[in-house]
Structure formats: structure tokens, C-alpha cells
Amino acid sequence: MLDQPTLVLNRHWVPVGTISVRNALCLIYREAARVILPNDYSLHDFDSWASLAVNEDEPAISTVSLRIKVPEVVLLTRYGAFPRRRVTFSRKNLYRRDLYTCQYCGAKPAIQDLSIDHVIPRSRRGKSNWENCVLACLRCNRRKANRTLKESGLKLHRQPKEPRWSPFVTIPLAQRRTSWEQFISNEYWNVELSE
């Protein structure tokens, strides 16, 4: 329960990320954050949060003397910035951006039959970055080889670009809480790395 995600809002009520319930409780206790009760938007410090009644069906943390509701949304008391974050360029994120699909023929082979292709080959000073790397099935990768798109006669289905970062890209759908929906615009929920 302590490792479950808690939504974090800056002091302007804008989502900036998620942290574990454990970290959220620490922030609340240190008065660096307050808990938002999603159904009425009331704010609670640690003492008022700990004194709330907890239903049997609600997630809670039990101590020797208390049963504390799991905070689902916290509001930072001092932090008001809007962090500019980027999606890390990595093999895993490239596969996610391209939806495990060959960007030349559109095939969705098994993962072991996909490779990363440089649109402008590295031998021709092509960089390893979001704008120059795409997934290719082994057949298309062999066909393209060490040539440009024009030389190989291949065309990209979609121009490669860096995906927009979202604090929820890394959270599986099963772990996203329904109480977050009122704090997060559809833009966050609909973010795909394929964008």
C-alpha cells in the first residue's frame, strides 16, 4: 500500500507528477504538502487527515493506534513551478513511441524481430535521437541497409519526433486512480508515446 502512487499538484493545483504514498505521508507530516479530499476539495494537514474516519472498504494504513486513509492527491504548499521534463531517449521508450510497429511497412512482428533503424545512417553522420531513430522489422531493415530513404525506396509511415512528457506515462492504467480524473485534463490521460 505504501508504494502505491499519489498524485502531486503544485501550489497552483497543476499536476506535476506522482510519488509513493510513503513519500506523500512524509511531505504531509513535514507540512510541505496537504492532502486534498477529492469529493469536496477540502485540504487537510496530517492531524486532520489522521482524524478522518476510514470505512472498511477504503484503502488505509494501519498503525498501532491509528488507521489512516491513503492520500490519493496531495497539494504542495510551496512549489509552484511547472517542470519541463523530457522523455528519456531509450530503447524501451522508442519501442513504446512506435507502438512495437515497423515504421516502414506497418507490420507488428514479435519484439525479437524488430530493430532500431537510423533514418540517416550513422555512417553518414546520423545521430541516435528521437528524430532519427525508428523501429523497423528485420526485412525492412535489411532492405534499407546503409542507405537513405530515397536510395532504398522506403517511406516512413510517420515522421519520428520526440514524444511529449506526461507524469502518467510510467503509471500502468490499473494503478491510475479515478479520483485523479478531476485534476487531470484529457490531454494527460490521452498521452501516447506514439505522438
Domain boundaries, the chain: 5-83+166-189, 91-152
**Could you tell me if 11 and 75 are in contact, meaning their C-beta atoms sit under 8 angstroms apart?**
yes
Lowest average pLDDT, out of 60-64, 109-113, 190-194, goes to 190-194
The pLDDT, as a whole number, for residue 38 is: 87
What number of other Cβ atoms are within 10 A of residue 191's Cβ?
17
The pLDDT, as a whole number, for residue 54 is: 87
**How is residue 85 written as a grid cell?**
521534463
Cα–Cα separations (whole angstroms), residue 189 to 160, 166, 171, 179, 184: 22, 9, 11, 13, 7
3-state secondary structure of 122: helix
Whether pLDDT at 172 is above 60: no
CATH of region 91-152 = 1.10.30.50
Q: What is the mean pLDDT of the chain?
A: 86
**How is residue 9 written as a grid cell?**
499538484
Exposed, middle or buried: residue 40 (CB in 10 Å: 0-12, 13-18, 19+)?
exposed
Model pLDDT for residues 98-149, shown as the tens digit of each residue:
999 999 999 999 999 999 999 999 999 999 999 999 999 999 999 999 999 9
Whether pLDDT at 64 is above 90: no
**Could you tell me if 75 and 34 are in contact, meaning their C-beta atoms sit under 8 angstroms apart?**
yes
